[in-house]
Amino acid sequence: MKLSIDPSSADPLFDQIARGLKRALTTGALGPGDRLPTARDLADSLQVNLHTVLRAYAILRDEGLLEVRRGRGTVVVARAKMLGDARLHRAVANVVSEARRVGLEENELLRLVSDGFRERTEI
């Protein structure tokens, strides 16, 4: 998995790394279930700080592309979650984000969603 970064570039290293990994995902160089190098290993090979790689991993995790777990490392999410559930996943993430934005508690959000489900609301 080659991945090159440019320390003299204007855009941040963590962003270059995140984009590089995303590119590897779209080109198929990285596929579902593939294990990524540990953050420390990738940091060493790229000659950047550990935190910089962790931040890049966190970005892709937040986008639903990676599963990052303590003690286990980082793997590309299963194909089922990437494709079939992509829209649902985004919708869930979005509604959680909106709920947080207006300061809703978990049970309040669940109540809203439950109501919405029964009312057969449309977009």
Partner DNA sequence: ACCTATTTGTCCGTATGTATG
Partner DNA sequence: CCATACATACGGACAAATAGG
Taking the least distance from each CB to a second copy, the nearer of 23 and 40 is 23
d(CA 50, CA 48): 7
- 23 has which bridge partners? none
Query: For residues 54 and 42, is the Cβ–Cβ distance under 8 A?
Result: no
Using the rule CB under 8 A, is 62 a contact of a second copy? yes
Other Cβ atoms within 10 Å of 10 Cβ, number: 5
What is the closest distance, in whole angstroms, from the C-beta atom of residue 105 to DNA in the complex? 20
Using the rule CB under 8 A, is 92 a contact of a second copy? yes
What is the closest distance, in whole angstroms, from the C-beta atom of residue 27 to DNA in the complex? 22
| End-to-end Cα distance, the chain | 42
What is the closest distance, in whole angstroms, from the C-beta atom of residue 54 to a second copy in the complex? 11
Using the rule CB under 8 A, is 12 a contact of a second copy? no
User: For tokens 């509604």, what's the residue?
Assistant: 95
Query: Residues in the site for a second copy, rule: CB under 8 A?
Result: 22-23, 25-26, 58, 62-65, 84-85, 87-88, 90-104, 106, 109-110, 112-114, 116-118, 120-123
